[in-house]
Chains A and B, each alone.
Chain A
Amino acid sequence: MSLIKVRNLEKVYQNDSVATSALAGVSFDIKDGEFVAIMGPSGSGKSTLLHVLGFIDDYTGGEYRFDGKTVFDYSKDDIAHVRNQKMGFIFQAFNLLARTSVLDNVKLPLVYSNVPPEKWDEMARAAIESVGLGHRLHHQPSQLSGGEQQRVAIARAIVNNPNVIFADEPTGNLDSRSGGQVMEVIQRLHDEGHTIVLITHETYTAEYAERILRLKDGRVESDVLVEERRRAADHFVK
Chain B
Amino acid sequence: MTLNYLLKTALIGLKTNKSRAILTILGITIGITAIITVMSLGKGAQNLILGQVQGIGAKVIAIAPGRQPEGMTDFASVFTDSLRAKDLTALERKENVPHLSRIMPVVFGSDTAVYDNNIYRPTIFGVSSMFADIYDAYPSEGVIFSDEEVKSYADTVVIGAKLKDKLFGESQALGQKIKIKGKSFKVIGILPKKGAGSFINFDDAAIIPYTTAQQYIFGIKYFHRLAAEADTEANVDQTVADIKTTLRASHNITDPTKDDFFVETQADAMKTVGTITNVLTLFLAAIAAISLLVGGVGIMNIMLVSVTERTREIGLRKAIGATDANILTQFLLESVILTCLGGILGITFGAAISLLASVVLTKVLNQTWGFTVPLTAVLLGLGVSAFIGLVFGLYPARQASRKSPIEALRYE
Which residues in A have some Cβ–Cβ distance to B below 8 Å? 51, 54, 56-57, 76-77, 80-81, 83-85, 88-89, 91, 95, 97-100, 104, 108-109, 111-113, 117, 156, 160
A56-B409, A99-B12 known; A80 vs B5 contact (CB < 8 Å): no
Interface size on B, as a range, is 20 to 34
Bound CA–CA A82/B80 (angstroms): 85
**0/1 interface trace, chain B 314-347, chain A, CB 8 Å (1 if under):** 0111111111111000000000000000000000
Bound CA–CA A77/B401 (angstroms): 12
Name A80's contact: one of B313, B321, B406 (CB within 8 Å): B321
Which residues in B have some Cβ–Cβ distance to A below 8 Å? 1-2, 4-5, 8, 12, 15-16, 312-313, 315-326, 405-406, 409
Interface centre among B4, B316, B321, B323 (most CB of A within 10 A): B321
List, in ascending order, chain B residues with CB within 8 A of A156's CB: 320
Bound CA–CA A104/B8 (angstroms): 10
B320 touches A112 (CB 8 A): yes
A95-B409, A99-B15 known; A54 vs B4 contact (CB < 8 Å): no
Name A89's contact: one of B2, B4, B319 (CB within 8 Å): B319
Interface centre among B4, B319, B325, B406 (most CB of A within 10 A): B319
Closest partner residue, chain A, to B1 (CB atom): A111
A91 touches B5 (CB 8 A): no
List, in ascending order, chain A residues with CB within 8 A of B319's CB: 54, 56, 83, 89
List, in ascending order, chain A residues with CB within 8 A of B321's CB: 80-81, 83-85, 109, 112-113, 160
Interface centre among A76, A77, A112 (most CB of B within 10 A): A112
Closest partner residue, chain B, to A104 (CB atom): B8
B312 touches A76 (CB 8 A): no
A95 touches B312 (CB 8 A): yes
B406 touches A108 (CB 8 A): no
List, in ascending order, chain A residues with CB within 8 A of B316's CB: 91, 95, 97
Closest partner residue, chain A, to B324 (CB atom): A76
Q: List 14 A-B contacts (CB under 8 A).
A: A51-B406, A56-B318, A56-B319, A56-B406, A80-B322, A80-B323, A83-B321, A84-B321, A88-B320, A89-B320, A91-B316, A95-B409, A112-B317, A112-B326
Closest Cβ of chain B to A180, distance in Å, is 25
A97 touches B406 (CB 8 A): no
